[in-house]
Structure 1
Amino acid sequence: MMTSQTHDFTADAGARVRIEALAPVARFSLRVRAAGRPVLGRALGCDLPDRVGETARAGGRVALCLGPDEWLIQAGEDEADAIARAGADAYAEAPHALVEISDREVSFRVSGPAAADLLATNCPRDLDRLAVGGATRTVFDTAQVVLWREADDAFRLDVWRSFAPHVRALLEIGQAEIAAGL
């Protein structure tokens, strides 16, 4: 027998997994050779980790090592000009490329006891191997993302703005499937 009854699966899923858009932040892509890493770390006020996937925090600034000579720097929106000036001031001592990419990406937080299950629907990474406090560049479906593990049951995805509606839609579909017990 067919019915016209409807059910809002996302309301039930909120207890198991939540999706939220996060406030904008200042973001910078930094490329510098190993010899210049300590200079830029001091200039930016945050150590630059030397292992891919590691993060370092100082005050409100975060540095994520994405590659042997590549870091993602994040801070409060109001710190963008100070970070750009600090990079410019350090250039003579440590040549580098520091590019503001704040408008390029948006962030979502996925949290709750089923957060890893939701992300696993479209992410090929073994999330159990991503330590709390660590982050990695990966894909979600076909979109490149930076995936941060904030806690055992909380993750953040940084995704290019143009892919954000696609990623958000996939997250919401997965959230509804989890609520339906699929």
Structure 2
Amino acid sequence: MANTNAIEMLSDHSGPIKLLQLPEEVRFSLRIDVSLIAKASKALGFKLPDQIGARTDVETGYAAMLGPDEWVIKTSAEDRDSIAFAFTKLYKTTPHSLTDISDREISILLEGGEVTDLLAIGNPLDFRKFKVGRSERTLFDTAQIVLHRDRDDSFKLDVWRSFFPHVWGMLVVGNRELAVKI
């Protein structure tokens, strides 16, 4: 029987940028005092980054520092339970908050030579300073997003589910405008 709650995956190739809604991902939000990240890193199984905007990539995902005491962790479905269990054990000695936010956000892949031009329609960042391997919380138009730069011509944009239609619509229109050089 088909899942009636499943979201139809979207893609757009109407302009120079490939836009693709990505499959759902396992994500956690971790809030912990920065002085305790060594303990959190041990529970996670890899080193958490210690600078805002920095990201640690591993085979099964990544961890990105978004604020002075905040990380987003993306992992495989197979690792979801073991991470949750490790942090439950850690909570006995180390105060923190680990929340599964997998259902909160939808990710969009943006690829192509003019990707920074497309992002600039809704974001004020200077993308010349946004290095590969960086992740940052920012805005797209009025919607809060987390933007990840994976290559010079490739970004992943994470947006809250409720703002997805607005952000997707702006990206599609902007992509079409880039195609006709508006």
User: TM-score normalized by structure 1?
Assistant: 0.90
SS of the residue corresponding to residue 24 of structure 1 reads coil
SS of the residue corresponding to residue 150 of structure 1 reads strand
1:58–1:11 distance in 2 versus 1, CA, 3 Å: closer
Cα distance in 2 for residues equivalent to 1:76 and 1:26: 6
Mind listing any 5+ residue stretches in structure 1 that lack a counterpart? Answer: 1-9
1:19-168 alignment runs, 5 A limit: 19-168=19-168
* Pairwise CA distance, 1:160: 0.2
Cα distance in 1 for residues equivalent to 2:40 and 2:13: 46
* Pairwise CA distance, 1:79: 2.2
Cα distance in 1 for residues equivalent to 2:156 and 2:130: 12
Whether contact under 8 Å (1:132, 1:149) holds in the other structure is yes
Deviation digits for residues 40-94 of structure 1 (CA, Å, limit 9, x no counterpart): 1111112111100000123313110011111011112332222111111111232
Mind listing any 5+ residue stretches in structure 2 that lack a counterpart? Answer: 1-11
Indicate the larger mover: 144-153 or 50-59. 50-59
RMSD across aligned C-alpha pairs, in angstroms? 1.2
The alignment covers a number of residue pairs equal to 171
Cα distance in 2 for residues equivalent to 1:77 and 1:115: 29
Give the fraction of aligned pairs with identical amino acids, expressed as a percent. Answer: 42
Cα distance in 2 for residues equivalent to 1:94 and 1:55: 23
* Pairwise CA distance, 1:11: 4.9
Whether contact under 8 Å (1:31, 1:69) holds in the other structure is yes
Higher helix share: 1
Moved over 3 A (4+): none
